[in-house]
DNA sequence: ATGTCCATGTAACGGGTTACATGATTGC
DNA sequence: GCAATCATGTAACCCGTTACATGGACAT
């Protein structure tokens, strides 16, 4: 359901093609919402059928013609209604590693430590990504577009991501110690 | 795919019915893996067809007969193979609130603050749940079953959940301040 | 030569949710 | 009287992933 609003949301920033929407998502919301092109294209089609977006075709040679989507008035309204509504539930997560760790009491110490160290590597990369890629990207985006209010919210979501990674890394150190001692 | 291993995992603790498996999940893994009964029953059936579990029927009156599932040797093997394998990717998250906040630059200050305060309430409840329900539950479980090694891992996953909630709450306070000042 | 970027899509499949169906017992 | 607990399941649907298909431009 929320892919719909991701697309409407980005289109509220300006007209775009499906391909460009995908790139936008990859550079920003992919941390809390992502989708493949094979899901985006049919969804845009459906949104057009529902009258929430319209599109113009820009002919190209050698590539398929561009379909540039624009948010309609009905789409803008639908989007704003969704946006203003408070979220009343915590979103249930699915985290395969935690599931594995939950059952890892039967494993020997070394296998669990390997798993934890592996996670450390992954989360260090992710933290660096938040600090070194996303942060400047947002700053640049705000500068170029002048979207200051939006920038405040973008930066807030980025900060949560960064803090989550720090928490995870702190926990991993603690977890490694605990496993070394007690398992 | 991981529901399979959740079920095999709990069955590695001992024979159980589908209904009991659901209860186990609700009291422990639901924080990082959950499922409805309407998904659990067909999955158990499939696992039985694949020879990973077997079941005995315990007749009852007034209720459907109990189907008590037991992990087979093949199931045990499959489970252990999965368990030992390192997880090599971060699991992509989908967090509707963050998506909403990401696009909330167009909203007025008060609407965003309402959203954030609402989140505060939800996460305070969740934190209390980790501290006051899950923690004693794990302790009691270890005492009753003597599963000390497993208990170490259960407690570790709980601690991450708790820390995540604390991080979220800290971030919310910061976010509220930022929105009050800058939006 | 090989791979990535651009730009569109379809088809098959799998995972997961919601709704529906049955029916006795226990607690408020 | 009404909801929750126990205990099983099926059917329809939606969301999302993987694989497949096309084909030129440009970089390594």
Residue A61's pLDDT is: 81
Residue of B nearest to A171 (CA): B160
Residue B62's pLDDT is: 79
Residue B61's pLDDT is: 80
> In the structure, how far is the CA atom of residue B23 from the C1' atom of nucleotide C27, in angstroms?
20
Residue of B nearest to A113 (CA): B86
The answer to whether the Cβ–Cβ distance between B93 and A183 falls below 8 Å is no
Residue B57's pLDDT is: 97
> In the structure, how far is the CA atom of residue A65 from the C1' atom of nucleotide C8, in angstroms?
7
Strand C nucleotides where any atom sits below 7 Å of a protein CB: 6-11, 14-20, 22-25
Residue A18 in tokens: 């499906």
pLDDT, mean of residues A40-64: 95
- The structure's pTM equals 0.95
| In the block, residue with structure tokens 């260090």 | A124
pLDDT in tens, B34-56: 999 999 999 999 999 999 999 99
Residue A147's pLDDT is: 97
Residue A154 in tokens: 């973008």
Nearest C-alpha of chain B: how many angstroms from A94?
5
pLDDT, mean of residues A48-57: 97
Centroid of chain to Cα A145: 21
Residue B76's pLDDT is: 98
Residues whose CB is below 7 A of strand C: A 17-20, 23, 37-38, 41-42, 44-45, 60, 63-67, 92, 94; B 1-3, 34-36, 38-39, 62-64
Asked whether residue A1 carries a pLDDT value surpassing 90, the answer given is no
Nearest C-alpha of chain B: how many angstroms from A55?
22
SS3 for chain A is CHHHHHHHHHHCCCCECHHHHHHHHHHCHHHCCCCCHHHHHHHHHHHHHCCCEEEEEECCCCCCCEEEEEECHHHHHHHHHHHHCCCCCCCCCCCHHHHHHHCHHHCCHHHHHHHHHHHHHHHHHHHHHHHHHHHHHHHHHHHHHCCHHHHHHHHHHHHHHHHHHHHHHHHHHHHHHHHHHHC
The answer to whether the Cβ–Cβ distance between B83 and A103 falls below 8 Å is yes
pLDDT, mean of residues A67-78: 98
- Give the bridge partners for B70, in sequence order: B54
Residues of B in contact with A98 (CB under 8 A): 31-33, 157, 160
Give the Cα separation of B134 and B127 in Å (integer): 10
Alpha-carbon torsion (B24, B26, B27, B30), positive or negative: positive
- Give the bridge partners for A71, in sequence order: A53
Residue A80's pLDDT is: 98
Contact (CB, 8 A) for A161 and A31: yes
The answer to whether the Cβ–Cβ distance between A92 and B170 falls below 8 Å is no
Asked whether residue A72 carries a pLDDT value surpassing 90, the answer given is yes
Residue B63's pLDDT is: 86
Give the Cα separation of B130 and B159 in Å (integer): 8
Residue A63's pLDDT is: 85
Give the Cα separation of A177 and A112 in Å (integer): 12
Segment holding B22, helix H or strand E: helix B18-27
Q: How far, in Å, are A18, A23, A135, B48, B161 from residue B135 at the CA level?
A: 47, 43, 37, 34, 11
| In the block, residue with structure tokens 């909203």 | B107
Give the Cα separation of A159 and B171 in Å (integer): 8
> In the structure, how far is the CA atom of residue A1 from the C1' atom of nucleotide C17, in angstroms?
12
Phi and psi of B141, rounded to 5°?
-60, -45
Residue of A nearest to B101 (CA): A153
**Does residue A38 reach within 7 angstroms of strand D, measured from its CB?**
yes
- Give the bridge partners for A69, in sequence order: A16, A55
Q: How many CB atoms lie within 10 A of CB B132?
A: 10
**Does residue A1 reach within 7 angstroms of strand D, measured from its CB?**
yes
Instruction: Pick out chain B residues at pLDDT < 70.
Output: none
Residue B46's pLDDT is: 97
Residues of B in contact with A29 (CB under 8 A): 99, 102
- By C-alpha to C1' distance, D15 is nearest to A1
Residue B145 in tokens: 């079953």
Nearest C-alpha of chain B: how many angstroms from A133?
17
Contact (CB, 8 A) for A113 and A180: yes
Contact (CB, 8 A) for A44 and A8: no
């Amino acid at each position: 359901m929320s892919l719909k609003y991701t697309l409407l949301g980005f289109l509220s920033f300006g007209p775009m093609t499906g391909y460009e929407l995908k790139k936008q998502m990859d550079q920003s919301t992919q941390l809390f919402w992502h989708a493949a092109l094979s899901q985006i294209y049919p969804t845009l089609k459906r949104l057009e059928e529902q009258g929430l977006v319209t599109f113009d075709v820009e002919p190209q040679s050698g590539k398929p013609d561009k379909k540039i989507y624009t948010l309609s008035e009905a789409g803008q309204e639908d989007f704003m209604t969704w946006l203003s509504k408070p979220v009343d539930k915590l979103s249930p997560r699915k985290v395969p590693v935690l599931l594995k760790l939950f059952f890892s009491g039967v494993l020997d110490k070394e296998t669990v430590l390997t798993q934890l160290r592996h996670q450390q590597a992954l989360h260090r990369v992710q933290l660096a990504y938040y600090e070194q890629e996303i942060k400047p990207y947002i700053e640049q985006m705000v500068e170029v577009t002048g979207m200051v209010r939006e920038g405040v919210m973008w930066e807030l979501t980025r900060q949560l991501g960064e803090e989550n990674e720090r928490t995870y890394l702190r926990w991993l150190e603690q977890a490694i110690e605990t496993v070394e001692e007690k398992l």
